[in-house]
C-alpha cells in the first residue's frame, strides 16, 4: 500500500501499482491513463466510451477500441453509479473534474474503494496541473518514468515550436487565425472558439479571440448568399 496526496489535497491510501482501475470524468482521465501506457488496467468506463459517435475524434479512444466493450460505470461528466463501479471490482478509482473534495469522499464512502481526485489541467495556462496529474497517476500506477517521459515530450515539442516562430516576422505582417468548432463537454458549432488555443500559442499566432471575422462567418453560415 502507499499513501498519497491527491489533486484535491486529500490523503488517500491506495494499492501500489494496481492491476484494476477505473477512470471517472470527461475523457481526460482515461486519456491520461493511456498516455501512461496503463490502458490495459482499465476495467470500466463512462458511457461516452460506449456510445457510437460519428464525429468521434478522441485519439486515445480510436487507438483503444476495446474501451467500448468494457462495463459502464456511470454517465458522462462524472455522474458515477456506485453500484456499477463496485461491480467492476477496481482497486483504485481515478476521478477528474471534482468540483470539491466532498465529491471524491462521497464516492469513496459509497464504494469502499480509494478515490484519487485529479485536477485535469491543460497544455496552456494550467500546464502545471496537467503535469501534477500525470505524475500523481504515474506514481499510483508505478509508471513514474513514463509520466516524466510524457511531460518531457510535451515540453520539448512546445519549446521547439516556440523557438521556430518567435520573432522574425513583423507584427503587421503576421497572419491572423481563428479556430472554430471547439468542443467543450461535447461538440459545439463553428463559432465555439478558444482564446488560449494551445497550438496557436505554441506557434505565436495572432488569434481572433471574440469569434470568426465577419467575412469568414458569413461564408461558413451562408449569410452572404
Task: Dump pLDDT digits (tens) for 96-149.
Answer: 988 899 999 999 999 999 999 999 888 888 899 999 999 999 999 999 999 999
What pLDDT does 123 receive? 87
Instruction: Select from 122, 154, 186 the last residue of a domain.
Output: 154
- Residues 60 and 99: their CA atoms lie apart, in Å, by 25
What pLDDT does 194 receive? 81
pLDDT above 90 for 219: no
* Residue 161 counted as domain residue: no
pLDDT higher at 15 or 54: 15
φ and ψ at residue 93, rounded to 5 degrees:
-110, 120
Residue 193 pLDDT grade (very low, low, confident, very high; cuts 50, 70, 90): confident
Residues 139 and 182 in one domain: no
pLDDT above 50 for 175: yes
Helices (H) and strands (E) in the chain, counts: 8, 10
Residues 127 and 213 in one domain: no
pLDDT higher at 173 or 109: 109
**What CATH number is attached to the domain comprising 150?**
3.40.50.1980
φ and ψ at residue 24, rounded to 5 degrees:
-105, 145
Cβ–Cβ < 8 Å for 61, 70: no
- Mean pLDDT within 18-37: 92
Beta strand pairing call for 79-80 and 206-207: unpaired
**Domain count within the chain:** 2
Instruction: Provide DSSP, 41-83.
Output: GB--EEGGGTS--TT---HHHHT-GGGGGSPEEEETTTEE-HH
Q: Look-up: residue for cell 461535447?
A: 186
- Mean pLDDT within 160-179: 83
99-108: list long-range contacts, CB under 8 Å, 24+ apart: 100/8, 101/8, 101/9, 101/10, 103/78, 104/6, 104/8, 104/10, 105/10, 107/24, 107/80, 107/82, 108/12
* Residue-wise pLDDT tens digits, 36-68: 999 999 999 998 888 877 666 788 988 999 999
What pLDDT does 185 receive? 62
Residues 136 and 201 in one domain: no
Residues 127 and 214 in one domain: no
Residue 73 pLDDT grade (very low, low, confident, very high; cuts 50, 70, 90): very high
φ and ψ at residue 96, rounded to 5 degrees:
-100, 165
pLDDT above 50 for 225: no
The dihedral built from the CA positions of residue 167, 173, 178 and 179, taken in this order, carries a sign that is negative
Domain that residue 10 falls in: 2-154
- Mean pLDDT within 80-104: 94
For the ranges 54-58, 89-93, 217-221, which has the lowest average pLDDT?
A: 217-221
What is the grid cell recorded at 204?
Answer: 505565436
pTM recorded for the entire structure: 0.85
pLDDT higher at 165 or 168: 165
Amino acid at each position: 500500500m502507499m499513501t498519497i496526496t491527491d489533486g484535491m489535497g486529500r490523503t488517500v491510501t491506495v494499492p501500489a501499482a494496481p492491476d484494476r482501475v477505473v477512470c471517472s470524468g470527461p475523457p481526460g482521465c482515461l486519456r491520461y491513463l493511456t498516455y501512461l501506457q496503463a490502458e490495459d488496467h482499465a476495467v470500466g468506463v463512462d458511457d461516452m466510451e460506449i456510445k457510437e459517435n460519428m464525429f468521434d475524434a478522441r485519439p486515445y479512444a480510436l487507438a483503444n477500441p476495446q474501451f467500448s466493450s468494457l462495463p459502464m460505470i456511470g454517465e458522462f461528466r462524472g455522474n458515477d453509479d456506485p453500484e456499477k463501479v463496485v461491480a467492476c471490482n477496481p482497486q483504485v478509482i481515478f476521478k477528474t473534474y471534482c468540483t470539491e473534495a466532498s465529491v471524491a469522499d462521497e464516492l469513496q464512502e459509497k464504494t469502499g474503494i480509494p478515490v484519487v481526485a485529479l485536477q485535469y489541467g491543460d497544455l496552456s495556462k494550467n500546464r502545471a496541473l496537467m503535469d501534477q496529474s500525470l505524475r500523481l497517476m504515474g506514481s499510483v500506477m508505478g509508471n513514474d518514468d513514463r509520466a516524466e517521459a510524457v511531460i518531457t515530450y510535451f515540453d520539448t515539442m512546445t519549446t521547439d515550436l516556440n523557438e521556430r516562430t518567435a520573432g522574425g516576422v513583423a507584427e503587421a505582417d503576421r497572419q491572423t487565425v481563428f479556430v472554430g468548432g471547439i468542443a467543450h463537454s461535447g461538440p459545439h458549432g463553428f463559432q465555439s472558439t478558444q482564446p488560449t488555443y494551445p497550438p496557436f500559442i505554441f506557434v505565436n499566432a495572432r488569434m481572433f479571440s471574440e469569434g470568426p471575422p465577419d467575412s469568414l462567418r458569413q461564408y461558413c453560415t451562408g449569410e452572404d448568399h
